[in-house]
Amino acid sequence: MIPKINNFSPQKTSSNSNLPIYIQFIQELENEYSNFVFKPSNRFCFRPPKTIYYELPSLSSRNLSPYFLQLLHELGHAVSHHHNYSLSVDRLKIETEAWGSAHHIFKSHSNWPKKYHFDFDQDFAETQLDTYRHWLHKKATCKKCGLTMFQDKKQQWICPHCDLF
């Protein structure tokens, strides 16, 4: 179910469709990945086992490349069978894996750059991953002494200096 946005007219594909290009892209994903459910939401996310939530593009969007890449990233989580993570470092691992899957999906569709007017932007993916890298660095830095902490199996952070000596 894809809602229609009135007066939304980002660039069209070369097809005869009168649908906005982002709807055409979502419909193609729904057809090809019919084992997953695509639903509009207020944010991009994947909810196991099979629901991919996506934002609607803003009415002023002319460059939909970041939008398409975010959608492919969430599809990357889905095709990678991601469920949850226990350690914080695992979060970075699954985010990296999802971007790798998104890139693989993109490369397997050689018609997308022309049809949807976008390429896979590795810099965009790395910028998104940087948010998780910074998050992990902040969580792993001891507030008392500044050393890098480690997380045990109980998900507790331990400083090798402050907590072990």
| Residues pairing with 148 in the sheet | 141
Reported as a single tens digit per residue, the pLDDT across 52-66 is: 999 999 878 889 999
Residue 98, exposed/middle/buried by CB under 10 A (0-12, 13-18, 19+)? buried
Per-residue pLDDT, 61: 80
Largest alpha-carbon pair distance within the chain? 70
Residues 76-91: what's their mean pLDDT?
Answer: 94
Cα dihedral sign, 61-10-51-130:
negative
pLDDT confidence tier of residue 15, bands split at 50, 70 and 90: low
Residue 15, exposed/middle/buried by CB under 10 A (0-12, 13-18, 19+)? exposed
Q: What angle do CA 38, 39, 41 make, to 5 degrees?
A: 140
Reported as a single tens digit per residue, the pLDDT across 30-42 is: 999 999 999 999 9
Tokens at residue 145, please? 């002494």
Per-residue pLDDT, 118: 97
